[in-house]
Structure 1
Amino acid sequence: MLPAKPRRSPGVPTTRPGAAAEHPLAGLFVPSAGPALRWVTRQERELLLVEHPRFQAVFSRQGGQLLHFQPRGQRPWLWCASHWPRVGAIRGGVPVCWPWFGRHPSESGWPSHGWARLSDWQLLGSEVDEQGMHLTWQLQLCDWTVTLEAELGEQMRLRLRTSHQDSEPCRLSHALHAYWQVSDVARVALLGLDGAQGYDLLTRDDCQQHGELRVEEGCHRIFRPGALVQVQDLAWQRRLLVDTRGGANSVVWHPGSRPLTDVRWREALGFVCVEAASCGPDSLSLEPGAEAVLELQARLG
């Protein structure tokens, strides 16, 4: 059974006494007797709180966006900005970049990374068992249908399915733009990309990775093909295995010292983006009735 649509409320506190201040959404949760779905409103966004014996998670109706995921007894896996703009995309979690990645190739006035992260999605259903929960979100846009399937438990798996019923082939690029929470980006190393060919969006030149990748000075690179990337965090003694092989590309991004709107400099030290994507030269051409699938998975190493 789907949870009822939330009623607007004066606000929900972001922290509770004694709560760990590791994630800006952690304070939304209250003790629960078992698996539960609950709608709340925060910063004028409708949020779905997911409570399960194995994990906690938060989705936003805007963007169908997973904002928070935390297996029991672990630190949060995903980073999210504490302040969101009144209008526009929420920075953090796993934004869905769709149906284009980056700037639109011909329409300069259209939003970066497409319409999906700015639109309200419909929750189609949820299934729960002892191992975890499966949720399905969907967005209908003109002749396009995009569905996000989330399988959450001790691991995390997101699957984005796109189909269209236009009479002509359509061009598609998409990404699952994951912000992984880390102790300090300057102390994090990314492994698994050694030898990968790519394109550096900062220098606008081809590149090849040699050894581990460190991003504290800023990085925006698209590697081919998708890879199993290890996010090695020495301070937290944690290694997340981020599997981007469900797309044609692995995208690695961090702004370095460049400021981000509404994000404090110190707050920005707490994430690194490792994304599954099919973009640029690896964008897709969909025939009428065809389907494209993009996957992102993560687990502890």
Structure 2
Amino acid sequence: MGPAVTGPASPLPGETLDRHDGRWRVADHGAQVLAWQPLDGDARPVLWYDPSDPQELPGVIRGGIPICAPWFGHGPGDDLEPHHGRARLCDFGREVLLDGPRFLLVRHTVEPEDLGAPFRLAHTVEMTGSSMTLNLEVTCTGTEPRPFEAVWHTYFRVGDAARARVEGVGGAAWRNHATGMSGTFTSDLTGRAWRDLVCLETGAAKENALLLEPGQDTSLHMRVGTGTL
């Protein structure tokens, strides 16, 4: 079963790898996951993505799981462009490692000269009928220590964002780097303007940015699944 390619009329940049009638979907541009949902039972899409309006800026796909790297926002010092780094503007090389009726393992890579920063990135996505696992490997290719940030900016599809609940971050500090506001998480983390999605950011950024020595590598890991409360 070969990869599906977006048609010429699609506003998406580049090709995508599609399985299960598009219910599993990964774009080569930005190595961005656009869709994943379980295969059994009353399965529904886990990620929010609107193909009718896929770009928030030229070359940037909105929805799914964008990779913000090698910096988040405007970087540790709030002085870098473009916003949320260059990875989501890059066309990654794709290698399908395993492909079966209920399993997909795909690896996307981008070199420093294409990223425009002294880092080599390898993003691996494992999709099964019950879970999805993402892994981002980074190697510093520069000649001096360099700060590195990476965040998965995941758009989760929900029935009603006003009723959504995020657990495990109670008491943690938060800061809105766009407005400068800060505070401490209590229980309601979601706004009411976007009732069909909740964005959760997972990774290392700002005061948790990584400092990589020349030749040093590291990896970040995220697993997504579904269940009932």
Confirm or deny a common fold (TM above 0.5). yes
- Does the C-alpha gap of structure 1 residues 106 and 279 become closer, same or farther in structure 2, counting only changes over 3 Å? closer
Report the Cα offset of residue 102 of structure 1. 0.3
Report the Cα offset of residue 48 of structure 1. 2.0
The equivalent of 1:92 in structure 2 is 63
Report the Cα offset of residue 283 of structure 1. 0.4
Higher strand share: 1
Distance in structure 2 (CA, Å) of the matches to 1:106 and 1:74: 40
Report the Cα offset of residue 195 of structure 1. 2.7
Unaligned runs of 5+ in 1: 1-34, 218-255, 257-267
The equivalent of 1:241 in structure 2 is none
Which of 31, 34, 45 aligns to 2:13? It is 45
Which of 152, 156, 163 aligns to 1:187? It is 163
The equivalent of 2:72 in structure 1 is 101
Distance in structure 1 (CA, Å) of the matches to 2:44 and 2:12: 26
The equivalent of 1:56 in structure 2 is 23
Match for 2:31: what amino acid? G
Structure number with larger C-alpha Rg = 1
Which of 221, 224, 228 aligns to 1:295? It is 221
Contact kept, 8 Å, 2:14 with 2:91, in 1: the verdict is no
Contact kept, 8 Å, 1:59 with 1:67, in 2: the verdict is yes
Match for 2:24: what amino acid? A
Contact kept, 8 Å, 1:125 with 1:135, in 2: the verdict is yes
Match for 1:63: what amino acid? G
Report the Cα offset of residue 92 of structure 1. 0.4
Distance in structure 2 (CA, Å) of the matches to 1:84 and 1:130: 28
**TM-score normalised by the chain length of structure 2:** 0.84
SS at match of 1:111: coil
Report the Cα offset of residue 159 of structure 1. 0.6
Distance in structure 2 (CA, Å) of the matches to 1:107 and 1:201: 12
Residues 16-72 of structure 1: per-residue CA shift (max 9 Å, x gap): xxxxxxxxxxxxxxxxxxx6532223215233243259x931122211111111222
Unaligned runs of 5+ in 2: none
- Does the C-alpha gap of structure 1 residues 291 and 197 become closer, same or farther in structure 2, counting only changes over 3 Å? same
Contact kept, 8 Å, 1:36 with 1:52, in 2: the verdict is no
Which of 46, 51, 60 aligns to 1:77? It is 46
Note if 1:112 corresponds to 2:76: no
Query: Kindly, what percent of the aligned residue pairs are identical?
Result: 26
Distance in structure 1 (CA, Å) of the matches to 2:103 and 2:12: 29
Distance in structure 1 (CA, Å) of the matches to 2:79 and 2:164: 37
SS at match of 1:189: coil
Distance in structure 1 (CA, Å) of the matches to 2:139 and 2:160: 39
* Pairwise CA RMSD: 2.3
Correspondence 1:160-171 to 2 at 5 A: 160-171=136-147
- Does the C-alpha gap of structure 1 residues 44 and 67 become closer, same or farther in structure 2, counting only changes over 3 Å? closer
Distance in structure 1 (CA, Å) of the matches to 2:99 and 2:4: 14
Contact kept, 8 Å, 2:123 with 2:135, in 1: the verdict is yes
Match for 1:59: what amino acid? V
Contact kept, 8 Å, 2:54 with 2:63, in 1: the verdict is no
The equivalent of 1:274 in structure 2 is 200
Distance in structure 1 (CA, Å) of the matches to 2:150 and 2:24: 23
Distance in structure 2 (CA, Å) of the matches to 1:177 and 1:150: 15
Higher RCO (C-alpha under 8 Å, 6+ residues apart): 2
Match for 1:282: what amino acid? N
Contact kept, 8 Å, 2:23 with 2:45, in 1: the verdict is no
Distance in structure 2 (CA, Å) of the matches to 1:159 and 1:44: 24
